[in-house]
Structure 1
Amino acid sequence: MIQMKEAFSFLCSSQFWRMALKWTFSLIISYIQLISQNIFSTKPKCYPQTTPSLKTPICIITGASSGLGAAAAHALSKEGFFVVLAGRSTQSLSKIVNSIQKLNNDACLKAFEVDISCFESIMKFKVSLMQWLSDAGMHPSIQLLINNAGILATSHRRTAEGYDE
């Protein structure tokens, strides 16, 4: 009963609603940006069928430096995905990439350092990912996104930008 009361008080708290509204607005803004880029883009809308990047589906896994994220990266690399690993620790990501490549020489992998709790880090990741896709001549579409990085709002901590963590 006490847990239900705590859960209900959390749902009624300003921190919960602030977080819920910020995430919702962030998603809406992202969709508006995506739609406006597609509407006002001067790039051709068709892509040749022979492009090698279209044959290999791209998967992004956040929190891929250990646990379920690392296991998902192992499994999806075996299934033929180009796996983009995202995590906070470059060293841990390198270890996972090496362990996957030992088991699967044909694995297509790319690791990026990103802290999901830091908005600036997320934006740097987006820019780096788009630049890498462009440089590699790959289509900038992601076929699978696994949001495995854990963010749980249980305390009153703030990020460097002043957002609830």
Structure 2
Amino acid sequence: MHILILWISLIFSPGFQERNQLIITKQKVLVQGYTSLGKFNCDFEILGKVDTLNFNSRGTQKIMEFQIPVKNFSCGNFLITSDFRSTLKADEYPYAKVVVKNFREKSGKIFCHLSVNLVGKRLEFPDLMLEKVPDGLSGKLILNFQMLELTPPNKFGGLVSVEDQLDLEVVLGI
């Protein structure tokens, strides 16, 4: 009888049950690009906005939506930051919009539908896999300037050029 009670208490304890919820306290977007001189990193982070994600919930699914002021991206160097903002046409398209929805867990992996609206182009990623990282969830994808109908910038008559590939990472942190 004691074994049965112990077994039931273990099954219904919070540590044993599958965790279908995550409290998000920050959203971060990281962009990594490559030039003929090396790589550059630009990022934007929203802190203090608390949200709860439910996985595999029945009924209405949670939608996380955030707008990123393109002029708030920081690349660690004012020249690179200025070129980055100029390339993304910050004056014409002052905001990038990111929508993350349809969170679901399959075979221990978390997937979502990611939509990115940047420079007037909407890109859809319906089955983006999110990796569990120590401080939350991370989704990575590769974009290129062609997808956004942009031309990679170059400087000094082509001596310094930016490669077509951009690595984008969306982090939903706890």
Q: TM-score, normalised by structure 2?
A: 0.27
The TM-score with structure 1 as length reference comes to: 0.28
Bigger Rg over Cα: 2
The structure in which a higher percent of residues are helix is 1
Kindly indicate which of the two structures has a greater share of residues assigned to strand: 2
